[in-house]
């Protein structure tokens, strides 16, 4: 099953792994020349996050890897369960949370070296796809079946709520006006002025699913998802929207220089051409494997997906 299938069904998870990287010349699409992947980075990784000095990736079999040298080498963190982990968030170099199937929520206090359970996995619990924290106490986790969990004590206790529309919820983002946003399938989009206590629904003028979102300057939010549609929002509603590619877009990052990178199905990468977040050039870093996440380090981008973990220098991508 492809990474993108997580966003369209709950039937299973990818179990056949690839042990290859894609190499290419700077400024060109990648060649189909393959070389072995570092053994530690084998497998499927669904999510990635970074703090000031650390990067972490979460994936199948409850695995979390972390790096302290900008993704050049990786260490496996100790996790208590083998359920797939589909979301991860690092508040700083010490504190972080990860979520996954069966509603599991894990917490680290040592930068990813060890993870403790703060919400046990139970087969009857819907999977969680994203987690976010405002500070060491207040955070949210969202997932399948419209479920939203909120904590105000760092994850010791979680209050569960269900959104009014039946939907799988895939992303959480905070814009610079303090609005918290949740996006999901079936054109589900909510925002909250009070960190998740109350929610207001936005009704998009089109159908589709949002697999990810990014906060932009001037109180704006970008969503991306099904069949490559990208949309720009504020609390008044839709500002503009366009289709950029045929592949589903699954994740993204806003770079330090303001440009945006979006990634998705079949190795698709969209690279922002300016800091407006609306002009892109397109390339592939893999002929078939889905990309689940992307994060920026000083001189490189780190991608996670069906191929494992891939670090590509920015210069090789023309950035």
Helix, strand, coil distribution of the chain in percent, nearest 5:
10, 45, 45
With beta carbons less than 8 A apart as the criterion, state whether 251 and 262 touch. Answer: yes
DSSP 8-class letter at 105:
E
Please determine, for residue 30, whether its predicted confidence score (pLDDT) is greater than 90: no
Give the three-state DSSP class for 265: helix
Flag the least confident range among 13-22, 26-35, 53-62: 13-22
Q: pTM of the prediction?
A: 0.88
Nearest to 60 by CA among 126, 2, 20: 2
Percent of the chain with pLDDT over 90: 82
**Mean pLDDT over all residues of the chain?**
88
- In whole angstroms, what is the distance from residue 80 CA to residue 63 CA? 10
Strand 260-264 with 64-67, pairing: unpaired
Domains in the chain, number: 1
- In whole angstroms, what is the distance from residue 118 CA to residue 223 CA? 30
Give the three-state DSSP class for 227: helix
- In whole angstroms, what is the distance from residue 204 CA to residue 229 CA? 13
The edge-to-edge listing of strands for the beta sheet with 210-216 is 210-216, 220-225, 229-234, 237-243
Nearest to 4 by CA among 189, 163, 207, 209: 209
pLDDT of residue 64: 97
Flag the least confident range among 33-37, 112-116, 312-316: 33-37
- In whole angstroms, what is the distance from residue 274 CA to residue 217 CA? 14
Sign of the four-CA dihedral 46, 318, 222, 133: positive
pLDDT of residue 13: 30
- Which residues touch 73 (CB under 8 Å, ≥6 apart)? 67
Percent of the chain with pLDDT over 70: 87
Strand 116-119 with 210-216, pairing: unpaired
Half-sphere exposure of 48 (CA within 13 A, CB side): 33
Strand 139-143 with 147-151, pairing: antiparallel
Sign of the four-CA dihedral 139, 143, 149, 155: negative
Higher pLDDT, 164 or 131: 131
Range of the domain at 238: 3-317
pLDDT of residue 275: 72
Distances (CA, A) of 126 to 142, 168, 194, 306: 10, 10, 25, 23
> Which helix (H) or strand (E) is 188 found in, with range?
strand 188-192
pLDDT of residue 2: 57
- In whole angstroms, what is the distance from residue 291 CA to residue 95 CA? 25
> Hey, how many other C-beta atoms are within 10 angstroms of the C-beta on 93?
15
Q: Please, is 303 exposed, middle or buried when counting C-beta atoms within 10 Å of its C-beta (0-12, 13-18, 19+)?
A: buried
Q: What is the CATH number of the domain that holds 11?
A: 2.130.10.10
pLDDT, tens digit, 9 for 90 and up, residues 284-315: 998 889 999 999 999 999 999 999 999 999 99
Please determine, for residue 6, whether its predicted confidence score (pLDDT) is greater than 80: no
pLDDT, tens digit, 9 for 90 and up, residues 254-263: 999 999 999 9
């Amino acid at each position: 099953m492809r990474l993108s299938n997580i966003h369209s069904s709950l039937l299973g998870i990818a179990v056949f792994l690839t042990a290859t990287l894609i190499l290419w010349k700077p400024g060109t699409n990648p060649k189909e020349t393959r070389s072995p992947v570092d053994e530690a980075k084998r497998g499927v990784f669904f999510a990635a996050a970074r703090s000031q000095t650390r990067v972490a990736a979460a994936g199948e079999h409850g695995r979390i890897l972390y790096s302290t040298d900008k993704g050049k080498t990786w260490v496996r963190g100790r996790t208590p369960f083998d359920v797939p982990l589909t979301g991860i968030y690092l508040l700083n170099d010490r504190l972080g949370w990860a979520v996954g199937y069966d509603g599991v929520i894990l917490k680290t206090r040592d930068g990813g070296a060890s993870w403790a359970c703060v919400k046990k996995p139970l087969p009857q619990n819907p999977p969680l796809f994203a987690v976010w924290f405002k500070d060491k106490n207040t955070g949210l986790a969202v997932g399948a079946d419209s479920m939203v969990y909120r904590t105000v004590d760092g994850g010791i206790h979680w209050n569960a709520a269900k959104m009014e529309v039946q939907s799988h919820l895939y992303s959480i983002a905070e814009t610079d006006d303090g609005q918290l946003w949740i996006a999901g399938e079936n054109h589900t989009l909510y925002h909250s002025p009070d960190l998740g206590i109350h929610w207001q629904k936005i009704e998009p003028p089109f159908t589709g699913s949002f697999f990810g979102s990014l906060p932009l300057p001037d109180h704006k939010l970008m969503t991306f998802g099904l069949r490559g549609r990208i949309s720009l929002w504020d609390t008044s509603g839709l500002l503009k929207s366009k289709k950029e590619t045929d592949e589903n877009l699954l994740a993204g990052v806003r770079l330090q220089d303001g440009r945006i990178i979006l990634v998705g199905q079949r190795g698709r990468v969209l690279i922002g051409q300016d800091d407006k977040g609306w002009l892109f050039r397109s390339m592939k870093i893999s002929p078939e494997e889905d990309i689940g996440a992307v994060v920026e380090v000083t001189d490189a981008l780190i991608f996670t997906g069906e191929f494992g973990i891939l670090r590509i220098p920015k210069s090789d991508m023309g950035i």
